[in-house]
Amino acid sequence: MTFDRAYEKTASFEGGWSDHPNDAGGRTSFGITQHLAARYNYRVEDVTPEIAKAIMRGEFWERTKVEKIPTSLIAHYMFDWCVNSGPNAVKKMQRVLGVMDDGVIGPVTIAKIKHEDQFLLLRKLMVRRMKNAIAYCEHDERQYVFVRGWAQRFFAEVWTRP
């Protein structure tokens, strides 16, 4: 299980520059929001694929501890969920697992992941992620424009491959 493979999968969905008026994240470049770019002293317009990869590694692979998830199937999916929705995705995974949702991928969360059928867990995470997206749209109708793309991303075949 490597960060490079997780990044490769996620990058296939992120594209380059985006400035959609309905996107709550605002302007983004290669999946990095203007707010996150500023935290690293970049203007979002200056974010390259290399810069995006470095930021994603630090923010969504290492800081979230997704790197500690014992299977690439779940680690890669959770990395993408964190990139797409933020580090709180870890808490959402923990709710699916039925463990304390403290946002820390520690021994209890890891043990529960190991105990689960990995493909069933992946499907449960996919459904939870879609339910969260639907709830987000119901809260802010401007987000409905993104539902089709989110569904394609959340349920993509790429997640079932190593």
DSSP readout, 55-123?
A: HHIIIIIITT-GGG-S-HHHHHHHHHHHHHH-TTHHHHHHHHHTS--SS---HHHHHHHHHS-HHHHHH
Structure tokens at 159: 């997640």
- Reported CATH class of domain 3-160: mainly alpha
Q: Provide the residue ranges of all domains of the chain, joining segments of one domain with +.
A: 3-160
Structure tokens at 100: 């304390």
**Its pTM surpasses 0.75:** yes
- Spell out the per-residue pLDDT of the chain, length 162, in tens: 589 999 999 999 988 898 889 988 889 999 999 999 999 999 999 999 999 999 999 999 999 999 999 999 999 999 999 999 999 999 999 999 999 999 999 999 999 999 999 999 999 999 999 999 999 999 999 999 999 999 999 998 878 876
